[in-house]
Structure 1
């Protein structure tokens, strides 16, 4: 498919945005969303746009800060949040050979420059947040490492620097909700934490969405691994810090579970993955409300009904309680031979502590607090980190093998392996002739074949914004602050304040050359106590 037809049929379209222009000029949105936004000199680049009426190149200053793109001269002319914006670049034999094309909802702008350094720097910044094309020109697939009903995961190698990444490939079809993937991308772009999986790039092709993710090779948490109380505390503290960061950023994960927690080479260093169900806490509406994985989902989500008040980020705290229980007891708190009984235990929070395993009382107290049925009685992630469990010193007593451990002890607790009990249940849609528990997906030829003509788009984002070189000094420091009394309709928000002399602002107009002219899988399960339905997140592979 050529580039023109690809853009006419691109996957990510914001149906709620009816604007017929690329730029957003409602500065009130920016002030409301960003109370103190600072733009630095070094990130301003002079690029050219083509005039609408006289086919002349007009100089403007552009800068990428956070997830926003700004442009202006001495004043701010417009801005754009880089969500679901498509990026394409090209080099032509013209006066301004380096071209950057951006498209949002079929609204397009093209920027020009004759500086290769400016072009490469600005391009690298945009690539962190935009949807890209040309996946096969930048990555090669090595082998497949996992798959689900709608997504496949591969190890790939970058053709630019030979680095290895995980590629999550999602097939585009009518059942795949673009709004759902849009929110996942937005959430991952807004988060930057050492214990959160990094999204490096997002590509789209004719048939797939490809997410280029950080490759974590240590495997899933708790998979064929048992931990001492000391190691469990180290792991859980990282997870609590990660959740605290997310909540401070206004995000709740809603699907915390061991299979979504990956271990680095050092098994005690973890990375949180799979943000397919993550959403913003204060969002006015959500794509999914009742969602999660059986055994980890909070009771208020199981009981949620349309029209009720939205639950809070405390749903993540409940999941943390289940995970800590598994870390120290090596078994699930709600486990039962009958899966329906397990769901009931989850709903009514029916569990008990195994007294045959010696666990610190502070740990039991923390688990009990996190597993409170009433979310208002659960501690926040910040309060969890202040709990005495993280300050208590553990000692290994003589003549006891299952007790507290010294801080430097490598001894592991004995007990049944969690891998012998699968608590991650899959469900199929309730309909005529339905099967309550769906069969495993056949490992068919399509899943086995790693030689692809087309690949799915990749999500990618760098955690730290790349700064341009200091030689770009055309514009001065730019500060946007909340201004309660400013009339945005009659007064411009002057953020581009140039310190150059007046004559230096006169830019000679060059003549224009005449030749200028490319997931998650959710299923409904029957709610056994009422006639409601519950969306359950299917297990993903990374």
Structure 2
């Protein structure tokens, strides 16, 4: 038997290295690089694969089976289109049924033959939004490219949008505002700005669960905060600084813009009409003058102080004075619709309101303090 010889390439490499080391002496023979000491306590062992028994147990749980079924890829050819349930400038939405499971979805067909750069951007945003999961955000399941059109498979909401709803009861409206704010706060934490919050993009189901929909004009932001100056969305619900770029020194904060749109929508629900002096379907010039040149709309004096202050916190002309979604979740008006429970997951410094104009303060003795802060103080004394 012949001994096993090393590969020819390995032998050649070893010979080359040895010959080089013999020909060229080292300049610094005493120089060496010590290896870092290894700490066994820091080492993390690799997890073992699950046993067959544990795998069978985990897959037998009904809730996990539901989650696995929800994660299954749904092919475009497996969908049966039923009827059209909505349309707009961005596209048309159809009610579809998954043939195998019988599940009902909404299929949005986005209009237009987009350029490659625009199409790639839309696809990237939809792929990111497919990972969004929150009880108050419409779930995006799949994305298809069919006949040159981009089609998005969405969660189906059986009662449609809140457009045209008149919610005069403040307690009910408080619950609606809390659900919308929960969805907005979740999106903002993930650096996602919706940019088109309006009643037609707020959907509701038979269980009165409200969800934010239509991310066709949304924009995923980087950590550095993109200016978001593209002209998408509905001008009737846009913030003043977004319509008129001369305001706020040309700076646009997408997060604060979503809060303005929310305030306009909530006030519209309460009044049963568009809160500005012009109709929301008016011409561009009239809407621009009403939004950018007049004072922000206010809740009527017949409303509660909490609701009037909530609307004022949303509809501040200066973006920096608007409350964030996290702060608004702890506003007395929103807390009232949540059984008096505040969002305790937030730190105190996150709940402190920004400075407000003097017109939003109430005179108490010789001091001027926010009604919300006064209410908290009084509640603490009464306890």
Which TM-score band (shorter chain)?
Answer: 0.5 to 0.7
Greater share of helix residues, 1 or 2? Answer: 2
Cα shift readout 1:55-113 (whole Å, capped 9, x = no counterpart): xxxxxxxxxxxxxxxxxxxxxxxxxxxxxxxxxxxxxxxxxxxxxxxxxxxxxxxxxxx
Question: Are the counterparts in 2 of residues 127 and 201 from structure 1 also a CA contact under 8 Å?
Answer: no
User: What's the secondary structure of 2:235's corresponding residue?
Assistant: coil
Identify the residue that residue 289 of structure 2 maps to in structure 1: 344
Query: In structure 1, what is the Cα distance between the partners aligned to 2:267 and 2:129?
Result: 28
User: What's the secondary structure of 1:179's corresponding residue?
Assistant: helix
Query: In structure 2, what is the Cα distance between the partners aligned to 1:366 and 1:264?
Result: 26
Determine whether 1:282 maps to 2:240.
Answer: no
User: What's the secondary structure of 1:271's corresponding residue?
Assistant: strand
Identify the residue that residue 329 of structure 1 maps to in structure 2: 271
Query: In structure 2, what is the Cα distance between the partners aligned to 1:211 and 1:331?
Result: 31
Determine whether 1:145 maps to 2:145.
Answer: no
Identify the residue that residue 257 of structure 2 maps to in structure 1: 315
Cα shift readout 1:394-434 (whole Å, capped 9, x = no counterpart): xxxxxxxxxxxx99xxxxxxxxxxxxxxxxxxxxxxxxxxx
Identify the residue that residue 373 of structure 1 maps to in structure 2: 317
Question: How many residues are treated as equivalent by the alignment?
Answer: 271
Question: Are the counterparts in 2 of residues 349 and 371 from structure 1 also a CA contact under 8 Å?
Answer: no
Q: 1:40 to 1:212 in 2, by over 3 A?
A: farther
Identify the residue that residue 204 of structure 1 maps to in structure 2: 145
Q: 1:281 to 1:207 in 2, by over 3 A?
A: closer
User: What's the secondary structure of 2:102's corresponding residue?
Assistant: coil
User: What's the secondary structure of 1:295's corresponding residue?
Assistant: helix
Question: Are the counterparts in 2 of residues 321 and 371 from structure 1 also a CA contact under 8 Å?
Answer: yes
Structure 1 residue 290 displacement after superposition: 3.6
Identify the residue that residue 497 of structure 1 maps to in structure 2: none
User: What's the secondary structure of 1:161's corresponding residue?
Assistant: coil
Q: 1:352 to 1:209 in 2, by over 3 A?
A: closer
Moved more, 166-175 or 322-331: 166-175
Query: In structure 2, what is the Cα distance between the partners aligned to 1:263 and 1:125?
Result: 21
Determine whether 1:390 maps to 2:331.
Answer: no
Q: Which aligned pairs between 1:357-368 and structure 2 lie closer than 5 A?
A: 358-368=302-312
Structure 1 residue 354 displacement after superposition: 6.2
Structure 1 residue 275 displacement after superposition: 0.9
Question: Are the counterparts in 1 of residues 195 and 254 from structure 2 also a CA contact under 8 Å?
Answer: no
Structure 1 residue 41 displacement after superposition: 6.2
Q: 1:207 to 1:386 in 2, by over 3 A?
A: same
Calculate the aligned-residue CA RMSD, in Å.
Answer: 3.3
Question: Are the counterparts in 1 of residues 240 and 317 from structure 2 also a CA contact under 8 Å?
Answer: yes
Query: In structure 1, what is the Cα distance between the partners aligned to 2:298 and 2:257?
Result: 22
Query: In structure 1, what is the Cα distance between the partners aligned to 2:147 and 2:72?
Result: 19
Q: 1:127 to 1:335 in 2, by over 3 A?
A: farther
Query: In structure 2, what is the Cα distance between the partners aligned to 1:245 and 1:124?
Result: 25
Which of 163, 169, 183 is matched with 1:228 structurally?
169
Q: Which aligned pairs between 1:287-298 and structure 2 lie closer than 5 A?
A: 289-298=230-239
Cα shift readout 1:253-286 (whole Å, capped 9, x = no counterpart): 11100000011113x3211101122223336657
Q: 1:125 to 1:259 in 2, by over 3 A?
A: closer
Query: In structure 2, what is the Cα distance between the partners aligned to 1:391 and 1:174?
Result: 44
User: What's the secondary structure of 1:213's corresponding residue?
Assistant: strand
Structure 1 residue 351 displacement after superposition: 4.2
Identify the residue that residue 158 of structure 1 maps to in structure 2: 98
Q: TM-score, normalised by structure 2?
A: 0.62
Q: TM-score, normalised by structure 1?
A: 0.45
Identify the residue that residue 413 of structure 1 maps to in structure 2: none
Question: Are the counterparts in 1 of residues 329 and 335 from structure 2 also a CA contact under 8 Å?
Answer: no
Identify the residue that residue 103 of structure 1 maps to in structure 2: none
Query: In structure 1, what is the Cα distance between the partners aligned to 2:120 and 2:229?
Result: 11
Which of 194, 213, 234 is matched with 1:253 structurally?
194
Query: In structure 1, what is the Cα distance between the partners aligned to 2:286 and 2:89?
Result: 27
Q: 1:246 to 1:169 in 2, by over 3 A?
A: same
Structure 1 residue 370 displacement after superposition: 1.0
Structure 1 residue 361 displacement after superposition: 0.8
User: What's the secondary structure of 2:237's corresponding residue?
Assistant: coil
User: What's the secondary structure of 1:364's corresponding residue?
Assistant: helix
Query: In structure 1, what is the Cα distance between the partners aligned to 2:328 and 2:147?
Result: 46
Query: In structure 2, what is the Cα distance between the partners aligned to 1:163 and 1:124?
Result: 11
Question: Are the counterparts in 2 of residues 187 and 251 from structure 1 also a CA contact under 8 Å?
Answer: no
Query: In structure 2, what is the Cα distance between the partners aligned to 1:381 and 1:320?
Result: 10
Which of 256, 266, 270 is matched with 2:210 structurally?
270
Question: Are the counterparts in 2 of residues 152 and 169 from structure 1 also a CA contact under 8 Å?
Answer: yes
Q: 1:179 to 1:303 in 2, by over 3 A?
A: farther
Structure 1 residue 226 displacement after superposition: 3.5
Cα shift readout 1:16-61 (whole Å, capped 9, x = no counterpart): xxxxxxxxxxxxxxxxxxxxxxx97669xxxxxxxxxxxxxxxxxx
User: What's the secondary structure of 1:313's corresponding residue?
Assistant: helix
List runs of 5+ in structure 2 lacking aligned partners.
1-45, 51-67, 341-383
Q: 1:324 to 1:172 in 2, by over 3 A?
A: closer
Greater share of strand residues, 1 or 2? Answer: 1
Question: Are the counterparts in 2 of residues 263 and 270 from structure 1 also a CA contact under 8 Å?
Answer: yes
Q: 1:150 to 1:279 in 2, by over 3 A?
A: closer
